[in-house]
Chain A
Amino acid sequence: MPTTRCVYSYAVALAGVAAMTAALAALESVRHIANDSMLYLLVVIGVAVRYGSGPSVAASIASFLAFDWFFVQPHHGFTVSDPAEWLALVLFLCTAITVGQLTAMLRSRAEEAGQREMEAAALAEASWSVASQLDLDHALRVVLDRVVQISGAGDATLLGEKAGAHQVLAQVGDALDPAEHGLLVLPLGAGERIGYLVLRLPPGRELSMAERRAVNSLALHAGVVLERDRLMRVEAQTQALHEADRLKTALLSMVSHDFRSPLAAIKASAGSLMAPGEPLDEDTQSELLSGIITAVDRLNRMVENVLALSRLEAGAWRPMVEPTPVEEVVASALEPLSAESSARVEVSLEPGLGEVPVDPVQMAQVLYNLVENALRYSPPRAPVEVRAWRGYGSFVFEVADRGPGLPLGSETHLFEPFWRGPGLGESARAGVGLGLALCRGLVEAHGGEITALRRQGGGTVFRVELRREVGR
């Protein structure tokens, strides 16, 4: 306790005794009251409640002396004529001190309980903010605000280790340097140095035990928040690495299987065209050349799918959703098809479908991939159906073919990058490559769902279900 406050509390104790003495004297002049010394106990209790044990003892002794001086015969002297009065005086002193001590003890108990409560409330709020706020800055800010509230610090700073140096993570008032003199510096957490809490208390202010405990707990709490954040980042990194690794493995397998066959076709065709010997007739030449162009187109499509999927997985290709006429989505999907392929597609749209909330380019890509896939796996000239209708709170697109149908148990694997059907081995047609994986990625980016179903009477139905209201 600062000395000014200390002196003040003793002064108040003595003033209280003086006031009580004056009051008793005034009362005494009117009529005599038995055991009026007991009124001093009121002063002692009051001082004990307000200022604690020291001042209450002072008040007790002062009361004893004042009573003896003013009210015990002979007046204005400390001598006591009646031995019975002596006993009463000593008893009074004992009672006053005991009552004062008991009251002061009660007071400090209550104070401590109050502080514990405050500490518990601060910690509870801090933990709640940590549990509910995923945002690191916000959580640290809440913790620091509570520290300031409890400690009364004018400036407070949370420093954390970042990239090998300590950086300010949160601050109230001026940013503080822990090396500066006269600041309170608390480590955030034991063992490994995670960071520091630095406080500048107002001059003369010292923390009570309870306050110190609360501030310490909050500092540890900030440490936990920082540590959790670090672990979460490590976790996310690990996951991204894992995902990238999976994609890389899949890509390597694609390069080794799917890319090689068009490359081989190109090299063989170009080699034949350049080979010495009898010049090739014009038909053969153009056959080889158009083979090269077809292979290049195929490679180009694969490269585009790889790029699209990696951009999608990296979160760099978010759908730009806008209300789009369904006809426009279907028309854009069919546009890249050759006239011959396009003629095989039968479109039936529920009348009055209106607009569907999608990214027009991405959804056209989904439908194109599905149609192209269906055409490729259907018998030549077999029709492929494209249907669209309004479900309950959803839009449904379907692409149905009369191909060989799905191998049992492949309904979900189909959408994994580079999945190959059992028994298809490494034949050129085997891999669906990335087309369906890209479809799933795009549909899921729209918050929708894509499924593959066996079609009654043979064949496969790919169904894309989109919510009719898509939040941006």
Chain B
Amino acid sequence: MKVLVADDEPQIRRALKVGLERHGYKVVEAADGEEALDVFAEQSPNVVILDLAMPRLDGLGVCRELRGWSQVPIIILSVRGRDDDKIGALDLGADDYLTKPFSIEELLARMRAVLRRVEAGQASEPTAVTVGELTIDFARRTVTRGGTELHLTPLEFDILRYLALNPDRVLTHRQLLTRVWGDEYAEDSHTLRVHISNLRAKIEPDPMRPRYLRTEPRVGYRFLSGRS
């Protein structure tokens, strides 16, 4: 498994290289956006870890460029307060993000999740997903918790279905809205918020401490599979 780490800070590249190699990944490095594209073309890594703030070509540019011809999983590294860039990268097709400073465990968990999705993407769509006590049956459009059937509205089911088919992946407000409601609703994050709140009230044992649907502030939502 080959990982491209693109970050202009040498100490971060070094630490990630050591950390990732200890877990059996092979690491290739790039110090700026242009170099990242070159190294990607040469080495065709399986995952790209991309810092947003880089000289020459920034992470957003690299993301746009890569998505032009590759579906490689991309994990964005950003700092707090640059929400717009982060959301922009996710809407461009980046798979996930981490806010600096982050721990190597968090990075590994994200990588495992995106790689699982790549694998799962090659198989056909699952007919059902079970997480903890929750079972979502896509074919029969039913949701049960601990054996009891929960009554979801069609919209709530569609939201849950889209999230559950992308386990542990952050889906932006725009992605959820355009997918479930349609393009003309892309900006209506209030509607989404209300539906998520209702959905949580139904599927979460304790809506104050959600274990299935996590809010990523300003960005979107994530379905937690419980695996890491």
- Residues of A that sit less than 8 Å from B by CB: 293, 296, 300, 304, 307, 311, 322-325, 327-328, 330-332, 334-335, 342, 347, 355, 360-361, 364
Contacts and interface: CB of A to CB of B under 8 A. Distances in A.
B71 interface: no
Contacts of A307: 80-81
B141 interface: no
16 contacts: A296-B101, A304-B80, A307-B81, A322-B190, A322-B193, A325-B197, A327-B197, A327-B200, A327-B208, A328-B193, A328-B196, A331-B210, A334-B208, A334-B209, A335-B214, A361-B218
Contacts of A331: 200, 207-210, 215
Contacts of B101: 296, 300
Contacts of B41: none
Interface string B61-80: 00000000000000000001
B219 to A, nearest CB: 10
Contacts of A335: 210, 214-215
A293 B189 CA distance: 36
A360 B217 contact: yes
A176 B80 CA distance: 52
Contacts, number: 46
Given A296-B101, A311-B81, A360-B193, A328 B215 contact: yes
Contacts of B197: 325, 327-328
B201 interface: yes
B207 A327 contact: yes
B54 to A, nearest CB: 21
A86 B102 CA distance: 120
B200 to A, nearest CB: 7
Given A331-B208, A342-B209, 4 more contacts: A304-B80, A328-B215, A330-B208, A335-B210
Q: What's the interface size class on B, roughly?
A: 20 to 34
Contacts of B193: 322, 324-325, 328, 360
Interface in B164-189: 189
Contact of A347 (B200, B201, B208, B215): B208
Contact of B217 (A322, A330, A355, A361): A361
Contacts of A324: 193
Contacts of A360: 193, 217
B190 A323 contact: yes
Contacts of B228: none
B34 to A, nearest CB: 30
B103 interface: yes
Nearest to B103: A293
Residue from the set A324, A325, A361 with the largest chain B CB neighbour count within 10 Å: A325
A325 B194 contact: yes
Interface string B201-224: 100000111100011011000000
Contacts of A323: 190
Nearest to A342: B209
A304 B81 CA distance: 9
Contacts of B218: 361
Residue from the set A296, A300, A327, A332 with the largest chain B CB neighbour count within 10 Å: A327
Interface in B67-99: 80-81
A368 to B, nearest CB: 10
Contacts of B200: 327, 331
Nearest to A299: B101
Residue from the set A311, A330, A335 with the largest chain B CB neighbour count within 10 Å: A335
Contacts of A361: 217-218
A332 B209 contact: no
Contacts of A328: 193, 196-197, 215
B125 to A, nearest CB: 30
Given A335-B215, A347-B208, A361-B217, A327 B80 contact: no
Which 10 residue pairs across A and B have the least CB separation, nearest first?
Answer: A325-B197, A361-B217, A347-B208, A332-B215, A327-B207, A331-B208, A361-B218, A330-B208, A322-B190, A328-B197
Contacts of B196: 328
Contacts of B201: 327
Nearest to A324: B193
Contacts of A300: 101
A300 B190 CA distance: 31
B225 to A, nearest CB: 17
Contacts of B215: 328, 331-332, 335
Contacts of B190: 322-323
A201 B193 CA distance: 65
A429 B219 CA distance: 34
A330 B207 CA distance: 9
A322 B197 CA distance: 14
A76 B214 CA distance: 119
A360 B210 CA distance: 16
A100 B81 CA distance: 85
Given A327-B197, A327-B200, A342-B209, A332 B80 contact: no
A328 B189 CA distance: 13
Contacts of A342: 209
Given A327-B200, A327-B201, A332 B194 contact: no
B97 to A, nearest CB: 16
B11 to A, nearest CB: 14
Contacts of A327: 197, 200-201, 207-208
B155 to A, nearest CB: 16
A300 B79 CA distance: 11
Contacts of A330: 208
A364 B207 contact: no
A122 B126 CA distance: 81
Contacts of B210: 331, 335
Nearest to A320: B218
A293 B101 CA distance: 10
A384 to B, nearest CB: 13
A275 B128 CA distance: 55
Nearest to A365: B217
A131 to B, nearest CB: 42
Nearest to A297: B101
B217 A364 contact: yes
Nearest to A304: B80
Nearest to B100: A300
Nearest to B201: A327
